[in-house]
Structure 1
């Protein structure tokens, strides 16, 4: 099992990270990746000049590692990488990159989806959008919470089988 978790303070290239991740694999038949990018417009449609992600490095990194370890314990994946930005992020820049690998596609897809749902709602970050001299704090939405909750429900559904 290979698990890599990184908290990045500067921009990174997801395509280069995916190429390196894939090159290190052995006999996996599936690789799934996701890249989240900073949007140029807020939920209200206002232009966003930057996204700021604040964190306590040790606490945030520990929360990310716990989420990744949970994914490895839950899904038949052989490798994963999670990179999440912190600091000032310009519109269009990658915020988060997740890749998973497994022998078969279903585990890789589900693990990547699980990682993103948990990172979005549970990783320890404080997020705000900057626009025209003002800022707006961002919290996970009700839909984000529903997405994360479905994984708890799947555990409960599978517990009786």
Structure 2
């Protein structure tokens, strides 16, 4: 008698990628300064980044470098292995408001995401993430878990 494998655990709210991306501008239009919003579950970049990178559109290509505000995140290494690829993590101490994360893919482009503070209340995070939808008329939500 063989036993069936146990069912997978239910998805918890911490396993959902909370990301909202705005649509890309039509050819010939000026690019936006912010490409979307990301609401990480914690200030631990090393645990949050793989989920983010795994949920990005394939058209963005392979992200090889990430620039973040060092004051927002708990200490993190200079490199991180994500899906069998090394991603270089670079720190900036430039005070910017709002906080962003910059994603770079050689030959593909650069994308800047607004970072919603992990400790933000659902209502505040929802407002910030929804504001991304109003930046550009045609927005697309990807796996956004905002109540």
Q: Normalising TM by the smaller chain, what interval?
A: under 0.3
TM-score, normalised to structure 1's length?
Answer: 0.23
What is the TM-score when the length of structure 2 is the normalising length?
Answer: 0.24
Higher share of residues assigned strand: 1
